[in-house]
């Protein structure tokens, strides 16, 4: 098995993962993140410390980014995927 020797950027480009370039898509992705965060905080236990908050925000963002890289752009689906198991 041959291993790839490339930077993260070039490996992503080789896999044909296209970043959202349409401003409307970027806005929709940002809105999905905000809505997912609001849904999470509404159901989260009180007294979450800043480290835990930052970790969960990052997890939600990473899940949304990965889903969009796989081609998912539906806002409700992105929110559901981001919050799955939290």
* pLDDT, tens only, 28-75: 899 999 999 999 999 887 888 899 999 999 999 999 999 999 999 899
Q: Please, what is the angle between helix 50-69 and helix 23-43, to 10°?
A: 140
pLDDT surpassing 60 at residue 16: no
Q: Is residue 31 part of a domain?
A: yes
- Give the model's pLDDT for residue 44: 85
Q: Is residue 70 part of a domain?
A: yes
Instruction: Please state the domain count of the chain.
Output: 1
Find all residues with CB under 8 Å of 25, minimum gap 6, and list them.
68, 73
Q: Is residue 64 part of a domain?
A: yes
86 or 14, greater pLDDT: 86
- Give the model's pLDDT for residue 54: 94
Q: 57: domain range?
A: 19-83
Which pTM value belongs to this model? 0.72
């Amino acid at each position: 098995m041959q291993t790839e020797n490339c930077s993260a950027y070039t490996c992503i480009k080789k896999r044909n993962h296209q970043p959202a370039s349409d401003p409307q898509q970027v806005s929709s992705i940002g809105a999905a993140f905000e809505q997912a965060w609001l849904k999470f905080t509404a159901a989260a236990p009180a007294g979450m410390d800043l480290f835990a908050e930052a970790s969960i925000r990052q997890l939600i963002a990473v899940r949304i980014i990965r889903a969009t890289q796989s081609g998912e752009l539906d806002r409700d689906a992105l929110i559901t995927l981001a919050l799955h198991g939290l």
